[in-house]
Each structure stands twice: as C-alpha cells, then as structure tokens.
Structure 1
C-alpha cells in the first residue's frame, strides 16, 4: 500500500550533510529510510528527527555489499510503497597520494563512492518503474571533482565520476519521469572535512580549512544545513525541470584565482 507521505531514501545519514538532510526532509513531513555503516551515529540521527516524524527506518550496514542495496530498497517499499527522493551521500576516503595509494583503498573508495550510488540508483529505478512510479535522484559530489588536492586521488576520481553518473541516470530514466541532479559542495563544516593529519599525526584540518576559506569569496565554509536546503529544493516541484546537471555550492571558491591575503597586498584598500 502506498503511503500518503513522501519518502526519502538517504545514505550516509549518520552525520554531516546526511544528518542535516535527514532533519530537513523530516521537517517537511517525509518518511525517512536512513542508511549508514555507523549504527551509533544512525541512532543519533534518528533521535534528532524524532521530534519531526515518527516514520523512520534505519538500515545500518555496508554499502559495499550488493545484497544490502536490494534489502534497503525492498524493505523501504514494503513499508511505504514508494520512494520519492534518493540521496546518494555516503562517502569514504583515505589520505594518500596516488604514489602510495594501495589497491585495496582505491577499490574500497570506488565501491562506496561510485559503485554503490550507481547500483542503488539502478535498483531503486527498476523497482519504481515496475510500480509505475518515479523519483528524484540526487548525488553528492564535491568541489574536488574539478579542484584536485593531490592527497585523496580515489575520492577525487569518484566525485568526477559521480557527476558523469548523474548525466547517465538523467538520460536513461528521464523518459520514465525520473530526475537526476548532483550538488558540488565547496568546503563544508563536517567531521570528514576536519580529519586531516600529517604523517607525524599532527592535526592539519584547521590549517587546510583556513586556506580554503581564504580563497573563498564569502570567506567561510558552508554549513551542512545549507547543503541540505539545496538538496531539498532540488527534490521539490520548484525544481521540476532541473535534471542532468550539477549545482556548484562553493561560496565562489572555484571562480577565484588566489587567496585574499594576496589580493590585500596588491590592493589593500579594496580587498
């Protein structure tokens, strides 16, 4: 039986952009199917959204397992009979250059960041087409898709590829009523973006964030809730003709040539 309320299926829901997205959709009255390998963090997210909705399914598990992907979709449909929005947000990365990156870490990154979104989207679309339904698929990319850092090569490659996946999904499933969009965040205040350490285990996250913010015209990082608001709008009817594209949300970072500290040396009265 098809539920009266819309349904969000969200991966990487245990924190950061995922938790903020869960909260944003819960506020709008969605039922939520939340996925993450971090069961404890998933429970925290569930407690956060409890004040907004009691319609919530938790799927703690590993997106590297193909059978798990089918379980997520099938159990969500068994519960509510619909999926209106799929957000592929889960991510994993290691901090290594391509010169030292292990094959194991390369393949794990691809399985979680690219293979899982591709096949979760395929499974979801297939099940919904059989039910004469469709949904909006939103993929979370990164500014690193076009600005490589040099220290997370597999992650960078996956973010470029997930944008191409977004185009592919839009072309294949568009005639069936699906939309596929990606967002490309700049630096966002999340635990993932603050776990950088040097080879001697010295914390480097603060310095890296400061450097990025110095090159961002808005002179700050984004909040996870700002990303969640964009996802929610893209999933809405207000964005009904937006598909097969990427929305960059980086505070202007990708269009700026150098840090404002340098600009101030050149034009101290203007910057």
Structure 2
C-alpha cells in the first residue's frame, strides 16, 4: 500500500468491468485503494461491482460494492447516502460510466441517442448534484470525469451520441470547476484515446470488420506509439488529478492517447 490517497473516501461509478480484464473503472477503483483510499465501487451490475470489491479486499484494501443506475436520480441519492453511511464522507467522485453506440444522425435511433446521453452525460449531472453537497460540508473535494478524445474531434468512425455526451462533460466540468473553486472543490477531466478494455470488444467489433483480433490490430496501428493504452493508463491519470499532488489544477482536461490527437491536429 502507498499513501497518495491515504484517509480519502472515493466513489467510483462504472467500477465493474464489462467483461474479463481491467476496464477503466475497475482499474481506477483498485488503484485508489492501493494508494490508501476507502472506495465505494458502484456499478449497474452488482456482480461486477462485487468482483471489483473482492479484488480490492484480496489486496488488503477497503471497498464496499454498491448497485446504482447513475442515470436515475433516486439511485444516485441512495448511492451518496450509502457512501456516507459506510465511510462518513466523500472526498473524490470519479465518474467513469460510459456506453458506446456507433452511428451518425441517420443511423442512430432516438432510443439509442437518449440512452447514451442519459448514461454518459446526465449521470455526471446527477452524481455531482448529490455528492457535491457532502464535499461542501468539509470544504474540499475532487471530481474526476472520464470523457474521451472523441469529445474533441473525429477519431475514425461516426460516434455522434457518444461524442456529444463526452463533449458536454468537458463543458460541465469547466463550469463546476469555476463555480466551486473558492470552496475547495476541484473538477477535471481525463480524455482517454484508443484503449484496450473490455468495453470495446463487442460494440466496436463490427465497425472494424467483425473480427476482434483484426479490430485490435487496426486500432493499435492508428496510435502513433503503435499500441493502444489500457485501463491502468486512464487510472493513473485520474489518480494524479484526484490526489493532493494536483491541488492547484482545476478545470483542465488531461489527454491520455499515445499521441493520437496530436497527430490529427
């Protein structure tokens, strides 16, 4: 155990991987715990949250699993209350929930659009709505929102709803950062690029030709470093922004993409 997050209480939404391996949320939850934090691991699928919690506890860390649909106001209120009940405070809110729908305005049906906006964007509004008051009670807090480089530019295929939601998160984060800067609360974004996580396996397979191996190979070749990142790359960036090492950083976006967007600029 290290101590970069010693004594902190962290809520991680989307803390369960969507398949075998380490997704962004699961890696972040584990890393916060390894650095001394007490973690509330939240996921819509309680089995996934429990898996993350068991992994953390097997390493000697502190973690409680919770189920919540973070696009539902009542669930989010209950999530915040559960964290207070278990740990007494909330120091860090790590918003990791995200779903992917590929398609432009013609291909994306209204139900898919509404679902992506609710899960990826409205969830950030709701979690902040019900967590920030607890941070204000202590006069401190850090919010880390996981957005995407797709929020800033075209990355190879139509991602309309996903891009729109992630772009909104950038604006929301900057708004909150300025509103609460004088009250001890920071808000920042991490913008991952192409990441090799369980989330990409099924939604993007068909877009790249229907073969998972071919999809991974093509995505690796699109990155200047020659290889996609992984959940740990996102997690370490989030850890820095959440920690006191970043006490003078707020309203910023940290790009983690192996040079992808620098080459596209």
Q: Distance in 2 between matches of 1:257 and 1:57?
A: 41
Choose which of 3, 10, 19 in structure 1 pairs with 2:12.
10
- Once the two structures are overlaid, the 10-residue window that deviates more, 182-191 or 212-221, is 212-221
> Please, which runs of 5 or more residues in structure 2 have no aligned partner?
1-5, 18-22
Q: Which runs of 4+ in 1 moved over 6 A?
A: none
Alignment-derived partner of residue 3 in structure 2: none
Q: Distance in 2 between matches of 1:34 and 1:250?
A: 25
The answer to whether the 8 A contact 1:187-1:193 is kept is no
SS at match of 2:51: helix
How big is the shift at 1:112?
Answer: 0.9
Q: Distance in 1 between matches of 2:95 and 2:187?
A: 11
How big is the shift at 1:83?
Answer: 0.9
| Residues 186-230 of structure 1: per-residue CA shift (max 9 Å, x gap) | 11110112222438x962444444333223221111121121111
Alignment-derived partner of residue 30 in structure 2: 23
How big is the shift at 1:18?
Answer: 0.6
Q: Distance in 1 between matches of 2:60 and 2:250?
A: 29
Alignment-derived partner of residue 136 in structure 1: 142
The answer to whether the 8 A contact 1:194-1:206 is kept is no
Q: Distance in 2 between matches of 1:132 and 1:46?
A: 26
Alignment-derived partner of residue 206 in structure 2: 198
Is 1:220–2:222 an aligned residue pair? no
The answer to whether the 8 A contact 1:29-1:52 is kept is no
How big is the shift at 1:65?
Answer: 1.2
Q: Distance in 2 between matches of 1:205 and 1:144?
A: 21
Alignment-derived partner of residue 130 in structure 2: 123
Q: Distance in 2 between matches of 1:208 and 1:246?
A: 28
Larger radius of gyration: 1
Alignment-derived partner of residue 20 in structure 2: none
Choose which of 219, 222, 234 in structure 1 pairs with 2:241.
234
Alignment-derived partner of residue 86 in structure 2: 79
The answer to whether the 8 A contact 2:68-2:79 is kept is no
Q: Distance in 2 between matches of 1:203 and 1:147?
A: 24
**TM-score, normalization by structure 2:** 0.89
Cα 1:163–1:126 shift into 2, 3 Å: same
How big is the shift at 1:26?
Answer: 1.0
Count of residue pairs the alignment pairs up: 253
Choose which of 147, 158, 167 in structure 1 pairs with 2:165.
158
SS at match of 2:195: coil
Is 1:97–2:73 an aligned residue pair? no
Alignment-derived partner of residue 262 in structure 1: none
> Please, which runs of 5 or more residues in structure 1 have no aligned partner?
259-271
